[in-house]
Amino acid sequence: MAARRILVVEDDASIRRGIADALRFDGYEPLEAADHDSGLREAVRAPCDLMLLDLVLPGGDGLHILEQARLARPTLPVIVLTARGAEDDRVAGLKLGADDYVVKPFSVRELLARVEAVLRRSAERSAGPVEVAFEGGTADLLRAEVRFDNGSREELSEREIALLRYLAANPGRAVSRDELLERVWRLPSNAVRTRTIDMHVVRLREKLRDPAESPRVVRTVRGRGYMLEKRD
């Protein structure tokens, strides 16, 4: 079996090489990029299974790379690496479709665990429902897109696919935020603020064109969580 390829976009040479060495030792094949332009080129074109992306890069913002990678390769898993302390930067990365983030300084052990978890979630995309039909369209979870009856389309991120797939596997049941954290994010329920779940639900509703003021597809069940409307 071929080694899975991990793209490391990081301008600090010592950090980048340290990550690459750790990935190689753990059985992965690392690819390296040291600035915005080379990172963007590799993110869009290079055959890889996951990208580790720094947000502060020479020549441009890492968020731009994430945005362009999502347009070109909506199913590519991305873990953001950042030394920034501001929550807004992490939120911006998650809104653009990042699957996870790690704040510097981080341990190699933590990083490798997160790489493994994100790759595992990506591999599990083929399990469970492959399509979710709703009024006005269909979400194709294998093609990572929403197709509307009027012919328009919206792309889905890996996290949005995983979230929608889990809700679709439990139609008509309110799923708590803690359960979503543990079963979709693969994290302890106290590891991330529940706002993370809410933010992804908001973004998913936008993709499904599900009105926030009166959602018909992904409903909020007050005090209990979220529920995918069950269709007859």
Long-range contacts of 116-123 (CB under 8 A, 24+ apart): 117/186, 118/50, 118/77, 118/79, 118/158, 119/4, 119/49, 119/50, 119/77, 120/186, 121/77, 121/158, 121/162, 121/184, 121/186, 122/49, 122/50, 122/75, 122/77, 122/158
Q: What is the pLDDT of residues 87-128, one digit of tens each?
A: 677 777 777 778 888 988 889 999 999 999 999 877 655 456
Strands 78-82 and 50-54: parallel
What does the pLDDT read at residue 29?
Answer: 96
Domains, in order of start, for the chain:
5-124 (3.40.50.2300), 127-228 (1.10.10.10)
List 50's β-bridge partners, or say none.
6
pLDDT tens track for 165-223: 889 988 889 999 888 887 776 666 665 566 778 989 999 999 999 998 999 999 999 98
Hey, what amino acid is at 70? R
Mean pLDDT of the chain, nearest integer: 87
Q: pTM for the whole thing?
A: 0.58
Name the strand (E) or helix (H) holding 148: strand 145-148
Closest CA to 107 of 81, 88, 78, 89: 81
